[in-house]
């Protein structure tokens, strides 16, 4: 497994400490709740909460550049992304036997706060026929395929 994601997150925490910010002390301004994805409305968990709250943005909503583009918006020039990590266990089959093994999968993404974006049409994407897409927990599998994040 690559250690790049670990190094990047550790580097970000060290940079905050060098600036005099203790990341686990409340310095953030978000008065509307914990960080969540603008499109899916799912709250971030684990180390992602700490990393995003240290951004000192009032809006709790975050999205990837691709999500902003799908919503008709762009990222403001000069804005910097914050990393978030995603991990899960996946099953792989051994080449020499029929046994399965669980291994960890780690990915990281770059997200921007809503305040760093401009020109967004709405918080939810529209369906191909132009109607508003239902909330994430009510979408059908065909709708999720059409949105194609």
Spatial contact of 126 and 43, defined as CB atoms under 8 Å apart: no
pLDDT of residue 99: 83
Residue 75 has a pLDDT of 95
Per-residue pLDDT tens for 21-40?
666 665 555 556 789 999 99
pTM of the model as a whole: 0.64
Which residues pair with residue 105 across a beta bridge? 88
The answer, yes or no, to whether residue 137 has pLDDT greater than 60, is no
Sign for the CA dihedral angle at 66, 71, 74, 79 comes to negative
For residues 40 and 61, give the distance between their C-alpha atoms in angstroms, rounded to a whole number: 10
The pLDDT, as a whole number, for residue 10 is 78
Q: How far apart are the first and last CA of the chain?
A: 25
Domain range list for the chain? 4-122
Q: In whole angstroms, what is the distance from residue 80 CA to residue 110 CA?
A: 9
What is the chain's mean pLDDT, rounded? 76
Confidence (pLDDT) at 98: 78
Could you read off the pLDDT of 105-128 as tens digits, one per residue? Answer: 888 899 999 999 999 876 544 444
State the pLDDT confidence band at 67, using cuts at 50, 70 and 90.
very high
CA 128 vs CA 4, 19, 133, 140: distances in Å: 38, 46, 9, 14
Residue 15 has a pLDDT of 79
| Alpha-carbon gap, residue 84 to 31, rounded angstroms | 21
Mean pLDDT of 119-140: 53
């Amino acid at each position: 497994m690559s250690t790049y994601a670990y190094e990047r997150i550790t580097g970000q925490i060290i940079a905050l400490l060098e600036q005099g910010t203790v990341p686990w002390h409340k310095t953030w301004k978000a008065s509307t709740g914990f960080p969540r994805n603008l499109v899916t409305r799912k709250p971030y968990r684990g180390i992602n909460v700490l990393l995003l709250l240290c951004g000192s943005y009032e809006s709790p909503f975050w999205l990837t550049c691709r999500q902003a583009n799908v919503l008709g918006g762009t990222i403001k020039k000069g804005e910097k992304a914050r990393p978030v990590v995603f991990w899960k266990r996946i099953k792989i089959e051994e080449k020499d036997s029929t046994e399965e093994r669980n291994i960890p999968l780690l990915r990281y993404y770059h997200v921007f706060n809503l305040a760093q974006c401009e020109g967004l049409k709405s918080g939810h994407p529209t369906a191909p026929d132009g109607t508003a897409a239902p909330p994430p927990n009510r979408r059908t599998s065909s709708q999720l395929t059409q949105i194609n994040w």
